[in-house]
Amino acid sequence: MSAVDEKAILGRFMLELGRLYQAYRMYPSGNPHVQTAADRCAECLREFQKPIRISRMGEEVVIENEVLSPVPKQLEKILEAFKAMQWDSVRFLPEIGVRGFLEVMLRLKEGEPGSFSTVGFVAGSINLDEEDEEEEKGLNAPTGYLTLMPRVQEMMSDIREGRKGAWVRAREITRLISGHVMAGQDIFSPIMELKDYDEYTFTHAMNVAALSIAVARRMDLPEGLVDAVAIGAICHDVGKEKIPLEVLHKPGRLSDEEREVINRHPVDGAAIIMNMKGEMSPIVPVIAFEHHMRVDGSGYPKLPVQSTPHPAAMLVAVSDTFDAIRTVRPYQPSAYTPAGAMSVLIKESRANRLHPVFVSVFARLTGVIVPGRHVKLSDGSRAVVLADGEYDALQPLIEIADGGEIMDLSMPRTPDIESVEDMLDE
Ligand SMILES: [Fe+2]
Ligand SMILES: [Fe+2]
């Protein structure tokens, strides 16, 4: 079926679905108006030959990867009803038939919120994929962060190949990741699940998105900006597809030419993103382009005029650095512990390469600098943390080792934390 035909059927389906809802509210279910409307809806599904999905993401309504803008008048009422039922996503399957539509209408009339499924129809939270249905049937479907991986892979190939609807998918995926970030108390719990999984490109993209979402939320950034940061984070390395695998996975030192090939990925990534169709925040390609640029002007790509990277790119740079050094790679045989990785971030922040505000928020989220933790200070002394820093996680109350002075590191003329020592069990 051509894209034009599909669009025509979807248009008809929306019209008929709106009519059915209106008819059902006015007449009893046996009334010919209701029956005819249900029959027409069922016919659209049979013709479409595959499921039709309608989802709500924030204020936007998406039908089959296409944002409905503006929302057709005739759909408004039924969409309000879906919202009242807490159905973020509904899926009509080809086998639904007249009976299925009438059952959906009845359910809407009863108005009891929560997930619902019947022959040819599933409604509930945004994550309505095959695994969910299995789960509802009581089969042992895998759950958790790792199960998002195939969808991330699919989305990345959509972006690389410039397929339509890729942004809608990206938004869905980042919202699912976001759900995991909020559900877990500890920001490490979702990313630990992927630690032993070897598809680095995808696990790294997901982890950087999860960490960046956590930082953005902690900073109370507006929801739209959190979304843009999340999508930028998940796509930040999309330009790496142009790097030959033997260069990308090469253990040991890279030649100057190889390094040059690798350093092109932010430029290539931004170009891939800019060539995509569909609406997307302008921050997304900027994040891809600038995630290796540093606050002090070092890093790459080099521009003729030096400028400070966009704050969203500086935020993602912190998550990117953290996840990269926490992972075992061919050129990095052992990964850093959380304290070791935090120490690297602190060093980069003190050298004005990573932005200190994002590093500080990160330090708070990782919970590495807490009472009992041993740290090394910039004056060379060692100390133990007594209490969390109130305004800055990197400026706690400390006691210099061996019964020395007690110091509030947020006060002027006190040293900085230079590194964090491992606990015995790390
Ligand atoms: Fe990168
Ligand atoms: Fe990266």
d(CA 105, CA 173): 29
Q: What's the gap in Å between 241 CA and the centre of ligand 2?
A: 12
Query: Which ligand sits nearest to residue 325's alpha carbon?
Result: 2
Distance in angstroms (rounded) separating the CA atoms of residues 86 and 409: 48
Taking the C-alpha atoms of residue 240 and residue 320, their distance in angstroms, rounded to an integer, is 14
CB 92 within 8 A of CB 121: yes
Instruction: Give the DSSP per-residue string, 405-426.
Output: -EEETTSTT-PPEEEEPPPTT-
Residue 41 amino acid letter: C
Q: What is the pLDDT along the chain (426 residues), one digit of tens a residue?
A: 787 888 899 999 999 999 999 999 888 888 888 999 999 999 999 999 988 988 887 777 888 777 888 888 888 899 999 988 888 888 898 889 998 999 999 999 888 888 788 888 888 765 544 444 333 332 222 346 777 777 888 888 888 888 877 888 888 888 888 777 765 556 665 555 555 545 677 888 888 998 999 999 899 999 889 999 999 999 999 998 888 888 887 878 889 999 999 999 999 999 998 888 777 889 999 999 999 999 999 999 998 888 899 999 999 999 999 988 887 666 666 778 889 999 999 999 999 999 999 999 999 988 899 999 999 999 999 999 999 999 999 999 999 998 889 999 999 999 999 999 987 666
Distance CA 136, CA 132 (A): 6
Residues sharing a CB contact under 8 Å with residue 89, sequence separation 6 or more, in sequence order: 53, 54, 55, 56, 123, 124, 125, 126, 127, 128
148-335, CATH topology level: Hypothetical protein af1432 (1.10.3210)
Going from N- to C-terminal start, the domains of the chain cover: 3-142, 148-335, 345-420
Cα radius of gyration rounded to whole Å, the chain:
26
Q: How far apart are CA 90 and CA 124, in angstroms?
A: 7
CA distance 318 to 353: 10
Please name every residue paired with 384 in a beta bridge, in sequence order, or none if there are none. Answer: 374, 399
Q: Ligand 1 center to residue 279 CA distance, Å?
A: 24
The structure tokens listed for 286 are: 């900027």
Paired tokens of 238 = 């999309």
CA of 317 to the centre of ligand 1 (A): 9
What pLDDT was estimated at residue 195?
Answer: 52
From the list 279, 204, 278, 215, the residue with the least C-alpha distance to 238 is 204
Calculate how far, in angstroms, residue 319's C-alpha sits from the geometric centre of ligand 1. Answer: 11
Q: What is d(CA 175, CA 294) in angstroms, rounded to the nearest whole number?
A: 28
Residue 424: CB atoms within 10 A of its CB come to 4
Q: Which ligand is nearest to the CA of 291?
A: 1
Ligand 2 centroid to Cα of residue 352, in Å, is 19
